[in-house]
Amino acid sequence: MPKDKLFDTQVVLQKAMELFWRKGYNGTSINDLVDATGLSRSSLYSTFDDKHKLYVSALRYYQSQEQQALTTELARQTSARKKIELVFRSFLKQILDSPYGKGCFMVNTATEMTNQNKELAKITAEDFAGMEALFHTFVKEGQASGEIARRHKPMALARFLFSSYLGFRISGQSNPDRVALEDIIKTTLAILD
């Protein structure tokens, strides 16, 4: 008869996510995960099989949490231009509130692991494509309503915004200076005029 789990998987994923996010895949040992989650090695292995699968689960958990939070914030906004600004400002808040400059877990994964693991490369590429598509939707909406200039093709502008977003996330991790980050937001949004 299999044993019932005596722990909340969501709580374990949250703790594993925080640890991987802060230390990276390669910087996190199984002992670190045991200490952070409070589970035994056998419980970790029986639930997640191995460190890699736990990392993938933690990354997917992060992805769903981020998407849910952003979707909730965007639902309150009707202006396409304001939605684009909201994406940047929402992440500005995260950057400034981060206790140890952990950056974006998805971006961290892309920079650490995409050359080492095809599955993680695919997850990050899909996530990035989703963000680019979101910007594309907002640009098309904004150009149709006249609040975003039509000087640039919607996809080219979406790609620029996404590239700025990635740079913004990395800049914020290495230098979480509000003035510098506000300059990036202001200059990025100026291309919409």
- pLDDT, tens digit, 9 for 90 and up, residues 17-72: 999 999 999 999 999 999 999 988 998 998 999 999 999 999 999 999 999 999 99
Same domain, 177 and 116: yes
Same domain, 86 and 49: no
Q: Evaluate whether residue 70 is within a structural domain.
A: no
Same domain, 155 and 176: yes
Q: Evaluate whether residue 53 is within a structural domain.
A: yes
CATH number for position 190? 1.10.357.10
Domain of residue 136: give its range. Answer: 77-193
pTM, two decimals, is 0.89
Q: Evaluate whether residue 72 is within a structural domain.
A: no
**pLDDT by residue (tens digit) across 81-130?**
999 999 999 999 988 887 667 889 999 999 999 999 999 999 999 999 99
Instruction: Count Cβ atoms within 10 A of the Cβ of residue 122 and give its class: 0-12 exposed, 13-18 middle, 19 or more buried.
Output: exposed
* CA distances for 74 relative to 4, 99, 124, 133, 176, angstroms: 39, 25, 22, 15, 24
Same domain, 95 and 50: no
- Split into its structural domains, the chain has a count of 2
Q: Evaluate whether residue 107 is within a structural domain.
A: yes
Q: Evaluate whether residue 152 is within a structural domain.
A: yes
Same domain, 17 and 82: no
Q: Helix, strand, or coil here: 192?
A: coil
What's the one-letter identity of residue 140?
A: K
